[in-house]
Each structure stands twice: as structure tokens, then as C-alpha cells.
Amino acid sequence: MILLSPFIFASLPLYAYLVLGLFIWGFMSLAMDDVMDL
């Protein structure tokens, strides 16, 4: 477990960027749907 902790801390920013990217993608897709409805 102690050997794995550096890898977990190193991958935390990667997961943060992944979640942020998914959030932005979802927001943009919703905005595009609103534009298409108009």
C-alpha cells in the first residue's frame, strides 16, 4: 500500500482533468442542443 501511494497521488491530477473535461464536454453539448432548438 505504501508503494502504491505515490502513483495514486500522481494520478489524482489526471483524474481531475478527466472529470473537468467531461463536465466541459457535457456543458458544451447541452449548449449546442439549445442552439439547435432555436
- Return phi, psi of residue 8, to 5°: -65, -45
Per the document, the length of the chain is 38
pLDDT digit string, tens, across residues 5-32: 888 888 989 999 999 999 999 999 988 8
Res 32: pLDDT: 85
Res 7: pLDDT: 83
pTM of the model: 0.54
Res 9: pLDDT: 84
User: 27 Cβ partners below 8 Å, 6+ apart?
Assistant: none
